[in-house]
């Protein structure tokens, strides 16, 4: 049985769905339990309410279930990004990660996977697809990449000293059902607006978007499947894997895909943009798991719009 922290969330629920489809049983751990999201309705998922920062509550889960692997997707970083008490928020974030590692050791799991982010590459040389062995900047402009870099380093130390098989997932920009407006790319907001028949509200974005702005974007069903394949692979040759599409998707491409489904959608953006796009090299992932993305931009946009038009809120 695979334990997935944050397993009722956006990427988490799709990862659980993929694990179930591959024949695994799953238990999800969530700080605040709620009903199963639609992608998990009617499945054999078991749910446990536990905060990963509560060591005793987390370890007790392993006494109720036979946990053989862990996929750690719950946030191991301060939230909100600028907390009122940064020292305590840091202690909580790192404490949760260490509790997960302790649980993995106590339960004797075969593999612990930990979510990282494409954001760790911000500031790195960007002259082509970004490989996992690229030198990383020691600084980051926002908190999440900072804590993900720290988490990767801690994971490496714990893997070396405990013998745990710890794997990092550097996850690209991800969009699709159960997602939310993202501050760094426009695709989710453009899809929501098209499904509603309204103009998109892009005020939440960090920078005003332009047509040729782009990023390695992955549809969430592909992201979840990639993580599931990494968790279940008989043997992995590396400790860190990029999880992405291996290509840049621009806002203009998203707009064209949306108009294939909603011809009158008001998804045009000002011309320009086109700064070097962050694109992940996914060669390791493909070689060690057989993964191939199944959703191109057109299929992803059509699937997401159909999901929203079916009455789902996000």
What are the CA-CA distances from residue 17 to residues 100, 102, 220 (Å)? 22, 26, 11
The model's confidence at residue 114, banded by pLDDT at 50, 70 and 90, is: very high
Question: How many CA atoms does the CB half-sphere of 94 hold within 13 Å?
Answer: 15
The model's confidence at residue 181, banded by pLDDT at 50, 70 and 90, is: confident
| Average confidence (pLDDT) over 66-88 | 87
Q: Can the peptide bond before residue 80 be classed as cis, meaning omega within 30 degrees of 0?
A: yes
pLDDT of 217 strictly over 80: yes
pLDDT computed for residue 123 by the predictor? 84
| Average confidence (pLDDT) over 198-218 | 94
When mean pLDDT is compared across 41-50, 98-107, 238-247, 252-261, the lowest value belongs to 41-50
pLDDT of 82 strictly over 80: no
Burial of 284 (0-12, 13-18, 19+ CB in 10 A): buried
Nearest partner of 47 among 64, 59, 30, 25, judged by Cα: 30
Helices (H), the chain: 10-21, 55-64, 86-107, 143-162, 187-196, 220-232, 251-261, 283-289, 297-309
pLDDT computed for residue 52 by the predictor? 95
pLDDT computed for residue 11 by the predictor? 97
pLDDT of 249 strictly over 80: yes
When mean pLDDT is compared across 71-80, 160-169, 191-200, 216-225, the lowest value belongs to 71-80
The model's confidence at residue 272, banded by pLDDT at 50, 70 and 90, is: very high
pLDDT computed for residue 275 by the predictor? 79
Burial 243-281 (b: 16+ CB within 10 A, else e): bbbbbbbbbbbbbebbbebbeebebebeeebeeebbbbb
- DSSP 8-class letter at 124: S
pLDDT of 126 strictly over 90: no
| Average confidence (pLDDT) over 60-85 | 89
What are the CA-CA distances from residue 276 to residues 121, 171, 248 (Å)? 13, 18, 10
The model's confidence at residue 233, banded by pLDDT at 50, 70 and 90, is: very high
pLDDT of 60 strictly over 80: yes
| Average confidence (pLDDT) over 131-153 | 91
Q: How many CB atoms lie within 10 A of CB 296?
A: 14
| Average confidence (pLDDT) over 298-309 | 98
Beta bridge partners of 227: none
| Average confidence (pLDDT) over 283-289 | 98
46 sits in which H/E element: strand 46-49
State the pTM of this model: 0.96
Q: Residue for token digits 């049983």?
A: 25
pLDDT of 162 strictly over 80: yes
Burial of 86 (0-12, 13-18, 19+ CB in 10 A): exposed
Q: Which token pair is 81? A: 């990004």
């Amino acid at each position: 049985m695979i334990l997935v922290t944050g397993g009722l969330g956006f990427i988490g629920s799709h990862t659980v769905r993929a694990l179930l489809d591959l024949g695994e049983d799953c238990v999800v751990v969530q700080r605040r339990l709620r009903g199963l999201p639609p992608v998990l309705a009617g499945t054999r998922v078991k749910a446990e309410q536990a905060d990963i920062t509560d060591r005793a509550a987390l370890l007790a889960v392993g006494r109720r279930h036979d946990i053989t692997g862990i996929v750690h997707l719950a946030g191991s970083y301060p939230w909100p990004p600028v907390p009122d008490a940064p020292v305590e928020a840091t202690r909580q974030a790192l404490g949760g990660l260490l509790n997960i590692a302790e649980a993995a050791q106590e339960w004797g799991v075969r593999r612990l996977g930990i979510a990282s982010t494409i954001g760790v590459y911000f500031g790195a040389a960007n002259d082509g697809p970004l490989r996992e062995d690229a030198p990383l900047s020691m600084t980051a402009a926002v908190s999440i990449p900072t804590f993900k870099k720290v988490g990767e380093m801690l994971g490496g130390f714990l893997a070396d000293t405990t013998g745990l098989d710890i794997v990092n997932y550097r996850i690209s920009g991800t969009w699709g059902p159960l997602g939310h407006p993202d501050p760094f790319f426009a695709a989710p907001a453009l899809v929501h607006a098209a499904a509603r028949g309204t103009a998109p509200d892009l005020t939440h974005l960090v920078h005003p978007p332009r047509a040729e702005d782009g990023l390695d974007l992955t549809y969430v069903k592909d992201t979840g499947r990639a993580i599931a394949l990494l968790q279940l692979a008989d043997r992995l040759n590396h400790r860190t894997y990029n999880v992405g599409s291996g290509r840049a998707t621009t806002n203009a491409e998203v707009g064209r895909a949306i108009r294939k489904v909603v011809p009158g959608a008001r998804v045009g953006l000002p011309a320009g943009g086109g700064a070097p796009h962050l694109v992940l090299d996914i060669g390791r992932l493909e070689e060690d798991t057989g993964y191939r993305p199944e959703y191109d931009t057109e299929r992803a946009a059509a699937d997401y719009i159909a999901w929203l038009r079916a009455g789902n809120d996000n």
